[in-house]
């Protein structure tokens, strides 16, 4: 049975992570999310208090990013950033995996990094682990998913939107196969139109991170996916 526009809207994190995003644009993002019934807005941590004020009294959730966009900050810094974001009003934390540690096969460092954020967020916010799939081999993607499960994360996510490449159907299928049916999988990066979003969902995505949510719902491709 095909998904309704409302069901698809409830799978979208309406995203604006550009470094030059202005307060006017952030407020507009929130207003669009309310109008189109998106699940959340996803913004940089600085904007979380402003978004909280704007979305007060609405069902739209607040998502922010941790260790963004490189994932190479210290574990202590990520934990502190997560704690502050939750205090400011974030309901969901999209943290960037330590890609360099993973590629160095320092799996304990990767596990500890994810777990530090999960421990801070427990009972307060969901944690999504951004793998930055464009930098990883399939074996590394599988290992990253396994470590995310072990650390207690709620979702795995493909991309930051600032790295090489974005979400692919093949990566979503691999991630879904690895994590099983009960963990969230978020497709992010390059999801600009209805058909692409539907393909990601069919492959196993349960959330879509995009700045093109309105275009997706209207069935009209967006000229560019700008984070």
| Of 31, 49, 77, 29, residue with least CA distance to 210 | 29
222 in Cβ contact with 158 (< 8 Å): no
97-130: b or e for each residue (b if 16 or more CB lie within 10 Å)? bbbebbeeeeeeebbebbbbbbebbeeebbbbbb
CA pair distance 79, 69, nearest whole angstrom: 15
148 within 8 A of 179, measured Cβ to Cβ = yes
| Active-site residue, selected from the candidate residues 13, 94, 113, 171 | 94
For 16, other C-beta atoms within 10 Å of its C-beta total 21
User: Which residue from 197, 176, 159, 182 is spatially nearest to 65, judged by alpha carbons?
Assistant: 159
157 is catalytic: yes
Contacts of 33 (CB under 8 A, 6+ apart): 14, 40, 41, 55, 60, 213
Phi then psi for 189, rounded to 5 degrees?
105, 105
Catalytic residue among 78, 171, 186, 193: 186
Cα–Cα distance measured from residue 157 to residue 198, given in angstroms and rounded to the nearest whole number: 16
**Contacts of residue 2, Cβ cutoff 8 Å, sequence gap at least 6:** none
Name the active-site residue from 78, 128, 141, 157.
157
Catalytic residues: 94, 157, 186
């Amino acid at each position: 049975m095909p998904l309704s526009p409302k069901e698809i809207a409830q799978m979208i994190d309406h995203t604006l992570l550009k470094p030059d995003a202005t307060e006017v644009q952030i407020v507009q993002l929130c207003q669009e999310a309310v109008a189109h019934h998106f699940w959340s807005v996803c913004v940089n941590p600085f904007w979380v208090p402003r978004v909280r004020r704007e979305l007060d009294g609405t069902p739209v959730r607040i998502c922010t990013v941790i260790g963004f966009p490189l994932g190479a900050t210290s574990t202590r810094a990520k934990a502190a950033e997560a704690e502050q974001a939750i205090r400011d009003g974030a309901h969901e934390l999209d943290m960037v995996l330590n890609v360099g540690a993973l590629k160095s096969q320092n799996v304990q460092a990767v596990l500890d990094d994810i777990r530090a954020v999960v421990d801070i967020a427990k009972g307060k916010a969901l944690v999504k682990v951004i793998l930055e799939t464009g930098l990883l081999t399939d074996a590394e993607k599988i290992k990253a998913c396994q470590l995310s499960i072990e650390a207690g994360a709620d979702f795995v996510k493909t991309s930051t939107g600032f790295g090489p490449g974005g979400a692919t159907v093949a990566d979503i299928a691999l991630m879904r196969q690895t994590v099983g049916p009960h963990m969230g999988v978020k497709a992010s990066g390059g999801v600009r139109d209805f058909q692409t979003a539907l393909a990601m969902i069919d492959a196993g995505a349960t959330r879509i991170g995009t700045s093109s949510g309105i275009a997706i719902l209207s069935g009209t491709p967006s000229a560019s996916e700008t984070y």
